């Protein structure tokens, strides 16, 4: 009996040579089982880990301590010789980092999402919450061990590749593009030396390779369910100061300017979230300043809009615009001033600086293509709500050229969202990007001219303002083959 049991334990997910790959859901659930099981995970509510960290081959070493507490708190600190302290934390709402070299900062956007995810206690148990889709993508060797490869799409648009040993079910490798303040960095993490900590197996050695460097992290001890002082996860004073500063920036009345609007948009393509952005609108000294930032993942293309600012006069005529973005590895920085019917752009890129002048109309709306979308708000403020009238306007694609825009007001209509029904103004129009290439769109706008929703049917593009939630269509009926045989425990 013992021998048979040993054979069963040795062959959890390793099937015959003509094996059929198990479903990704099965592999991920099996990982929970082989590392201790759901009940064991749920008995843990806090961890305190101590270890060492080393930049391999660089002579830079340090000590590391990490505190984790359910449901979503994390504090990590490392002391490197010759460098000082590096800290990062998540208090459930704010994700932050504080470096002896780079100073304190609050994480935003995708970087914040990733940190919040990492802080989720018992993260392996929560994979259904983290991933929108998981797929078994074949098998690969990791350090000589045959592994199932699972490709997982996170709900914020990232893709992770997870490699689980066919023999043990343990996670041995993960590859992902990690968002940092310095950019998107491909990271490969190798896990080994699994040990039991409070009833759950965790890797005690992690080796991370990124940007030509290798970081070796060893956990020497981990105390589970230890009482952690409440202030361990409190925001350090300079992080708290940054939080207060950001709040004040969202309320520019304190500086004498009026907060004339702003908001956040989410963009979907073919039903998948591909971009998020936020913007502010400030009115001061007879001018409007639109300022925003965002991140987009459209298939293999990644785009980060560090900043896009447009300044118009009180009549929404452009005065200046400033774009700073990164498309994949290509940087683009454009500063444009508008005067006397001309747009004068200073363009800085890896190829060097250049100056460009374009003729523009006084009523031109300054856009960046394809994102961000918030500058269309300027168009929404300019158009007339006169029914039946076709309006000819212009859009200047910053640093490129002016193109014609046609808009027609179709009247008021009730639009249904996942969280409300709203009475909105419907505009339809088209932008001629190239001669003979018109991009049609429909826009729904509130009484105070804020865009609530945009549809671009030809590109299967949907845009929703925060507060106007997209209705998720029901999934198609399942046509997949029956489940594979249930996994055997390790």
Site for other proteins in 74-93 (CB under 8 A): 76, 78, 80-86
Q: Which long-range contacts (CB under 8 A, 24 or more apart) does 410-419 make?
A: 411/387, 413/444, 415/444, 415/452, 415/453, 416/471, 417/453, 417/464, 417/468, 417/469, 417/470, 417/471, 418/469, 418/470, 418/471, 418/472, 419/467, 419/468, 419/469
From 145, 196, 264, 324, residue interacting with other proteins (rule: CB under 8 A): 324
Stretch that binds other proteins, among 138-146, 181-189, 415-423, 461-469 (CB under 8 A): 181-189
- DSSP state letter for 482: P
Answer yes or no whether residue 329 interacts with other proteins by CB under 8 A: yes
Q: Interacting stretch for other proteins, rule CB under 8 A, among 9-17, 38-46, 172-180, 272-280?
A: 172-180
Q: ω before 328 within 30° of 0 (cis)?
A: no
Least CB distance to other proteins at residue 212 (A)? 5
Phi, psi of 443 (to 5 degrees): -130, 140
Q: How far apart are CA 292 and CA 275, in angstroms?
A: 13
User: Would you count residue 53 as binding other proteins (CB under 8 A)?
Assistant: yes
For other proteins, the closer CB: 295 or 462: 295
291: its two tokens: 């300022």
Q: How many residues bind other proteins (CB under 8 A)?
A: 72
- Residue 277 found at the interface with other proteins (CB under 8 A): no
Residues 342-371 that bind other proteins (CB under 8 A): 348-353
DSSP 477: P
Asked if residue 412 lies in contact with residue 425, where contact means CB atoms within 8 angstroms, the answer is yes
Shortest distance, CB of residue 326 to other proteins, whole angstroms? 7
The kind and range of the H/E element at 156 are: none
Q: Which of 93, 128, 245, 460 binds other proteins (CB under 8 A)?
A: 245
Task: Closer to other proteins by CB, 139 or 291: give it.
Answer: 291
Pull the structure tokens for residue 253. Answer: 């009345």
With binding defined as CB under 8 A, does residue 109 bind other proteins? Answer: no
Least CB distance to other proteins at residue 135 (A): 16
Q: Going residue by residue from 111 to 130, which x/- string records binding to other proteins, judged by CB under 8 A?
A: ---x---x----xx------
Angle CA 355–360–361, to nearest 5? 160
In this structure, the chain runs to a length of: 490
Q: Which stretch binds other proteins (CB under 8 A): 102-110, 259-267, 271-279, 376-384?
A: 102-110
Q: Are 418 and 472 in contact (CB under 8 A)?
A: yes
**Contact code string over 282-321 relative to other proteins, x by CB under 8 A:** -----------x------------xx--------------
Q: Between residues 190 and 395, which has the closer beta carbon with respect to other proteins?
A: 190
- C-beta closer to other proteins: residue 30 or 425: 30
**Residue 236 interacts with other proteins (CB under 8 A)?**
no
The runs of H, that is alpha helices, within 173-232 are none
User: Which residue has tokens 């925001």?
Assistant: 235
Residue pair 366/447 in contact by the 8 Å Cβ criterion: no
Q: Which is nearer to other proteins, 20 or 255 (CB)?
A: 255
């Amino acid at each position: 009996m013992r021998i048979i049991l040993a054979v069963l334990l040795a062959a959890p997910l390793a099937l015959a040579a003509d094996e059929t790959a198990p479903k990704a859901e099965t592999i991920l659930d099996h990982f929970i089982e082989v590392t201790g099981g759901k009940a064991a995970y749920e008995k843990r509510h806090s961890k305190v880990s101590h270890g060492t960290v080393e930049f391999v081959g660089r002579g830079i070493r340090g000590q590391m301590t990490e505190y984790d507490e359910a449901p979503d708190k994390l504090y990590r600190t490392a002391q490197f010789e010759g460098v000082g302290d590096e800290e990062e934390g998540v208090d459930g709402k704010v994700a932050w980092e504080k470096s002896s070299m780079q100073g304190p900062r609050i994480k935003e956007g995708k970087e914040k999402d990733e940190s919040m995810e990492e802080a989720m206690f018992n993260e392996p148990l929560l994979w259904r919450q983290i991933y929108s889709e998981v797929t078994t993508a074949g098998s690969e060797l990791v350090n000589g061990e045959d592994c199932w490869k699972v490709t997982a799409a996170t709900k914020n648009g990232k893709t992770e590749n997870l490699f689980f040993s066919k023999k043990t079910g343990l996670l041995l490798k993960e590859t992902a593009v990690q968002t940092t303040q310095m950019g998107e960095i491909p990271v490969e993490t190798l896990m080994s030396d699994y040990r039991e900590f409070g009833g759950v197996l965790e890797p005690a050695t992690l080796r991370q390779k990124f940007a030509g460097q290798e970081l070796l992290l060893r956990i020497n001890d981990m105390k589970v369910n230890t009482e952690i002082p409440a202030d361990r996860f409190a925001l350090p004073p300079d992080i708290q100061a940054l939080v207060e500063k950001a709040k004040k920036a969202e309320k520019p009345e304190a500086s004498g300017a009026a907060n004339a609007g702003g908001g956040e948009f989410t963009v979907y393509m073919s039903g998948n979230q591909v971009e998020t952005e936020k913007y502010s609108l400030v009115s001061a000294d007879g001018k409007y300043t639109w300022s925003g930032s965002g991140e987009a993942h459209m298939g293999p293309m990644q785009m980060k809009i560090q900043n896009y600012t447009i300044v118009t006069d009180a009549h929404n005529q452009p005065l200046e615009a400033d774009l700073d973005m990164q498309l994949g590895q290509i940087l683009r920085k454009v500063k444009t001033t508008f005067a006397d019917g001309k747009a004068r752009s200073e363009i800085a890129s890896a190829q060097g600086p250049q100056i460009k002048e374009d003729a523009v109309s006084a009523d031109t709306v300054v856009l960046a293509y394809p994102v961000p979308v918030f500058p269309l708000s300027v168009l929404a403020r300019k158009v007339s709500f006169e029914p039946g009238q076709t309006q000819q306007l212009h859009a200047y694609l910053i640093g490129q050229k002016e193109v014609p825009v046609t808009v027609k007001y179709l009247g008021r209509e009730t639009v249904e969202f996942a969280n409300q029904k709203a009475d909105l103004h419907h505009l339809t129009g088209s932008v001629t990007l190239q001669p003979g290439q018109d991009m049609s769109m429909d826009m729904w706008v509130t009484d105070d001219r804020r865009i609530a929703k945009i549809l671009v049917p030809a590109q299967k593009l949907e845009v929703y303002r925060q507060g106007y939630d997209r209705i998720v269509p029901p999934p198609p009926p399942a046509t997949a083959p029956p489940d594979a045989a249930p996994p055997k425990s390790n």
